[in-house]
């Protein structure tokens, strides 16, 4: 039997203020507020063990330090006219916490079920802070911490930073000591920079880059879509596939070292080459999610900083190695223009689309991996040859999603224990299930074959 108790994390005299939302906050707020009941798919859920288990009051105190450290965790958003959004950082208030009591041996299972509840409903961004907290307790000790973040409050990189800061607090650090040793850029500070003359120049340069790339790119990437008759059906479902590959986790590092690029460039280059080969378009475009944490203060921030870069690779079908090598330099150029006023850019892109002058920009790439967490952390690296490991690849079809606007395909890269995951969602009007499998296995085989050629 599980029982529940309501507790609160109370803030008094925390940092407070109000001002324009940042570009990242505006971008994601615009997305989630349009989604309605589908908004929870943008929530950031995580449940993790508390080891060793800690008293409830101690865990609540740890979480209080996190709220004091990061302004985004006690921030609300208020629309300001037709084109404005204000962030309101509350200096005081209370965050509700639900504590559920049950057998310690069931804490992981109970935590997963609890997570589904917390993550399964949308946030009210005008009234609610962007964090939900649940605790699984047994005998007065917390065994499982259940968190759900709103995407307006943090992106995946911000969530990783939050969890690392939690570890530091559990080890004895405080908000004051962490702020002194690792200053983090707070959202109100970021908004000030973006409103400055330097920020406005960066915004204008980024939007100019986007328009140039969109004007130069192909109007359609898939020359022969799978089922064009489905394109006008608003009720069509987008399949989601998950490829889990131990071989890819081993091979990507070998190829990256040989070609002297990052493993992220290897994966994006392989995806570009495979998309070009399948689609019939030599030039491909991806909207690539970029963390935008190139400076230490931004890297220490728990906020929504990530935005999309427009990555256009020409002659991507020509040669795999060439595509990977050029991905590095092309990506650098694109990433320099990945911070901008999304609402202003959307208006410019809409005009291009209306005139029929915009390239197909409906393909998305999101490498969500935390650089500090590898697939073989805590898991033994396999000793089998790559030619054998590739036979252990698993492909599943976990779910389907409602139709998504301007999405032909969206691919996420994730770290799994002992493997890399490629998760793909696609519009069946453009790419059917067989095509999705061809794409995912094609990316894997390109990289694994290159690694085998280097010496298995």
Both 161 and 234 in one domain: the answer is: no
Query: What b-and-e string marks burial along 407-430, b requiring 16 or more CB atoms within 10 Å of the CB?
Result: bbbbbbbbbeebbbbbbbbbbbbb
What local confidence, expressed as pLDDT, does residue 378 receive? Answer: 85
CATH code for the domain in which residue 390 is found:
3.30.559.30
Across-strand partners of 418?
Answer: none
| Cβ-contact 264, 253 below 8 angstroms | no
What local confidence, expressed as pLDDT, does residue 13 receive? Answer: 87
User: DSSP letter at 380?
Assistant: P
At which of 152, 169, 193 does a domain end?
193
What local confidence, expressed as pLDDT, does residue 372 receive? Answer: 81
User: Which residue range is the domain that position 237 belongs to?
Assistant: 199-455
Angle between helices 246-259 and 263-279 (to 10 degrees): 100
**DSSP 3-state of 78:** strand
At which of 158, 193, 228 does a domain end?
193
Task: Tally Cβ neighbours within 10 Å of residue 261.
Answer: 20
What single string gives the DSSP state of each residue in 17-65?
EEEEPPHHHHHHHHHHHHHGGGGGGG-EEEEEEEEEEEEHHHHHHHHHH
Q: Rounded to whole angstroms, how far apart are CA atoms 327 and 270?
A: 9
Each residue's pLDDT tens digit, 327-379: 999 999 999 999 999 999 999 999 999 999 999 999 999 999 988 889 999 89
Both 392 and 447 in one domain: the answer is: yes
Q: Rounded to whole angstroms, how far apart are CA atoms 115 and 145?
A: 9
Both 184 and 308 in one domain: the answer is: no
Strand order in the sheet with 363-367: 307-313, 284-290, 363-367, 409-416, 419-426, 237-245, 394-402
Q: Where would I find the beta strands (DSSP E) of 291-442? A: 307-313, 363-367, 394-402, 409-416, 419-426
Provide the mean pLDDT of the chain.
Answer: 95
pLDDT for 1 beyond 60: no
What local confidence, expressed as pLDDT, does residue 346 receive? Answer: 96
User: Taking CA 196 as the corner, what is the angle to CA 193 and CA 197, rounded to the nearest 5 degrees?
Assistant: 135
What local confidence, expressed as pLDDT, does residue 441 receive? Answer: 98
Instruction: Let me know how long the chain is.
Output: 456
Both 386 and 241 in one domain: the answer is: yes
Both 246 and 332 in one domain: the answer is: yes
At which of 162, 193, 224 does a domain end?
193
Structural domain total, the chain: 2
- 420: phi then psi, degrees, rounded to nearest 5: -110, 145
Both 16 and 162 in one domain: the answer is: yes
Both 375 and 298 in one domain: the answer is: yes
What local confidence, expressed as pLDDT, does residue 445 receive? Answer: 98
Both 184 and 163 in one domain: the answer is: yes
Q: Where would I find the beta strands (DSSP E) of 188-323? A: 237-245, 284-290, 307-313
Both 257 and 189 in one domain: the answer is: no
Strands 284-290 and 3-11 turn out to be unpaired
pLDDT for 381 beyond 90: yes
**DSSP 3-state of 425:** strand
Mean pLDDT confidence for 38-53: 93
Both 284 and 166 in one domain: the answer is: no
Both 70 and 203 in one domain: the answer is: no
Q: How far apart are the first and last CA of the chain?
A: 53
Both 221 and 162 in one domain: the answer is: no
| Cβ-contact 318, 361 below 8 angstroms | no
CATH code for the domain in which residue 141 is found:
3.30.559.10
Per-residue pLDDT band at 456 (split at 50, 70, 90): low
User: What is each CA distance from 169 to 156, 255, 319, in whole angstroms?
Assistant: 20, 38, 49
**DSSP 3-state of 109:** helix
């Amino acid at each position: 039997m599980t029982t529940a108790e309501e507790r609160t994390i109370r803030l008094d005299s925390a940092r407070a203020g109000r001002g324009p939302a940042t570009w990242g906050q505006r971008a994601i707020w615009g997305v989630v507020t349009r989604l309605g009941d589908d908004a929870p798919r943008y929530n950031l859920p995580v449940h993790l063990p508390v080891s060793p288990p800690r008293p409830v009051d101690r865990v609540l105190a740890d979480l209080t330090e996190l709220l004091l450290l990061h302004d985004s965790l006690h921030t609300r958003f208020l629309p300001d006219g037709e084109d404005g959004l204000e962030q309101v950082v509350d200096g005081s208030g209370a965050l509700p916490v639900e504590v559920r009591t049950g057998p310690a041996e069931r804490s992981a299972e109970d935590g997963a079920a609890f997570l589904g509840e917390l993550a399964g409903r949308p946030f009210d961004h005008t009234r609610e802070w962007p964090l939900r907290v649940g605790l699984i307790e047994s005998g007065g000790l917390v065994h499982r911490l259940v968190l759900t973040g709103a995407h307006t409050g943090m992106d995946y990189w911000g969530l990783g930073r939050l969890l690392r800061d939690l570890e530091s607090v559990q080890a004895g650090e405080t908000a004051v000591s962490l702020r002194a040793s690792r200053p983090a850029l707070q959202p109100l500070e970021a908004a000030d920079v973006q409103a400055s003359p330097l920020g406005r120049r960066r915004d204008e340069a980024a939007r100019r880059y986007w328009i140039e790339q969109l004007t130069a790119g192909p109007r359609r990437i898939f020359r022969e879509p799978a089922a064009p008759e489905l394109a006008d059906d608003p009720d069509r479902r987008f399949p989601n596939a998950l490829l889990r590959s131990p071989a890819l986790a081993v091979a990507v590092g070998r190829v990256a070292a040989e070609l002297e690029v990052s493993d992220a460039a290897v994966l994006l280059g392989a995806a570009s080459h495979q998309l070009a080969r399948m689609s019939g378009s030599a030039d491909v475009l991806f909207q690539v999610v970029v963390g935008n944490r190139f400076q230490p203060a931004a890297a220490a921030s728990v906020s929504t900083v990530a935005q999309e870069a427009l990555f256009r690779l020409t002659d991507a079908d020509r040669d795999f190695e060439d595509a990977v090598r050029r991905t590095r330099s092309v990506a650098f150029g694109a990433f320099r223009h990945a911070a901008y006023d999304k609402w202003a850019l959307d208006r410019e892109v809409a005009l291009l689309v209306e005139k029929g002058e915009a390239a197909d920009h409906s393909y998305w790439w999101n490498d969500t991996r935390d650089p500090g967490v590898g697939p073989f952390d805590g898991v033994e690296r396999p000793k089998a040859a790559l030619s054998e490991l590739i036979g252990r690849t698993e492909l599943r079809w976990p779910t389907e999603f409602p139709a998504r606007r301007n999405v032909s395909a969206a691919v996420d890269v994730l770290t799994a224990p002992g493997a890399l995951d490629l998760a793909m969602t696609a519009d069946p009007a453009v790419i059917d299930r067989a095509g999705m499998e061809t794409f995912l296995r094609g990316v894997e085989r390109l990289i694994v074959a290159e690694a085998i050629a280097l010496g298995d």
